[in-house]
Amino acid sequence: MKVKYFAWVRERIGKAEEKIEPPDSVRTVGELIAWLAGRGEGYAYAFEKPKVIRAAIDQTHVQPDAAISGAREIAFFPPMTGG
Amino acid sequence: MTAIVTVRVQQEDFDTAGEIAALTRGRIDIGAVVSFSGLCRGNDHDRPITALTLEHYPGMADAEIMRHAEEAMARWPLQGLTVIHRFGRITPGENIVLVVTASSHRQAAFEAAEFLMDYLKTNAPFWKREETEDGGSWVEAKGHDDAAAARWTS
């Protein structure tokens, strides 16, 4: 699946998007955050406060317990500050 | 007459007066137009700001604004509305966002404009980075914005 990162999540990880293949044991958005956080220093820094991170599956906001099965694009970002 | 809903996410500036004129042109059923313009300030708590850079999630930003525009159309008797949100680097004094709502009477137009702005600040996927003389920093989300958005669901 494709993952996208925005704002300071993108800056801390050092890339805007990538293709990932998490193991089958990673079933929810929250579990995916924990798995990503273990991929290296930048990821650990980006996801150090998982409660702050917002997520969208296929461009729709979701909660951490949302299932990732079938998702084409998952995005992670800080709370929005538009307007 | 059919209600006109316009949503645009764009890098270039917009013309507020022109957008209001486009929404009301040829209509005799509109009695109230409310417009809100959000502009880039040159300071934040007395700290000078040289520019703001707005990052957005292409595709989702348009869809999220359209979803809220449709909710506004369902909640209030509106003759039309326009929402424009810019992205990219914006300097002090420049436009960031525009909401225009048109209705037969003022209350619906005022309320729908406020509803749309409250939701844009908390749900539309945009992030602001401030440039200052010391460098730059991401603007943090504010609790009072969440509270403002929450009052529409209570």
Each residue of A68-81: pLDDT tens digit?
999 999 999 999 99
Q: Which residues pair with A2 in a beta bridge?
A: A19, A73
Specify the pLDDT at position B46: 83
Edge-first strand order for the sheet with A73-77 is: A17-19, A2-5, A73-77, A54-57, A60-62
Distance, in Å, from the CA atom of A10 to the CA atom of A63, rounded to the nearest integer, reads: 20
**One-character DSSP codes across A20-83:** ----TT--BHHHHHHHHHTT-HHHHHHTSSGGG-EEEETTEEE-TT-B-TT-SEEEEEPPP---
Strand partners, B102: B33, B80
**Residue A40 pLDDT > 90, yes or no?**
yes
Q: Return the closest-CA partner of residue A20 out of A1, A42, A4.
A: A1
Instruction: Give the strand order in the sheet containing B95-103.
Output: B4-10, B78-86, B95-103, B32-39
Judge: B124–A83 Cβ closer than 8 Å, yes or no. Answer: yes
Minimum distance, in Å, between the CA of residue A63 and any CA atom of chain B: 13
pLDDT tens digits, chain B, 154 residues: what are they?
Answer: 788 999 999 999 999 999 999 999 999 999 999 999 999 999 988 889 999 999 999 999 999 999 999 999 999 999 999 999 999 999 999 999 999 999 999 999 999 999 999 999 999 999 999 999 888 999 998 888 888 888 888 6
pLDDT at B60 (0 to 100): 97
* Best mutation target, B55, B66, B118, B142, to test chain A (most A CBs within 10 A): B55
For chain A, percent of residues with pLDDT exceeding 90: 99
The 10 Å Cβ neighbour count of residue A50 is 14
Residue carrying structure tokens 């099965």: A69
- β-sheet bridge partners, residue A4: A17, A75
Helices (H), chain B: 16-24, 60-75, 106-123, 143-150
pTM: 0.93
**Residue-level pLDDT at B153:** 85
Q: Which residues of A touch B125 (CB under 8 A)?
A: 6, 56, 75, 77, 80, 82
Question: How are beta strands B43-44 and B95-103 bridged, if at all?
Answer: unpaired
Q: Which amino acid is at B38?
A: G
Q: Is B67 on the interface with A (CB under 8 A)?
A: no
Using a CB–CB cutoff of 8 Å, tell me whether B120 touches chain A.
yes
Chain B contact set for A81 (CB, 8 A): 121, 126-128, 138-141
Nearest Cα residue to B82 out of B140, B6, B3? B6
Q: Is the pLDDT of residue A34 over 90?
A: yes
Calculate how close chain A gets to B81, using CA atoms only, in Å.
16
Q: Does A12 reach chain B within 8 Å, measured CB to CB?
A: no
pLDDT of residue B1: 72
pLDDT of residue B83: 98
Put simply, whether B59 touches A (Cβ < 8 Å) is yes
In the prediction, which pLDDT does B146 show? Answer: 85
Q: How high is the pLDDT of residue B64? A: 96
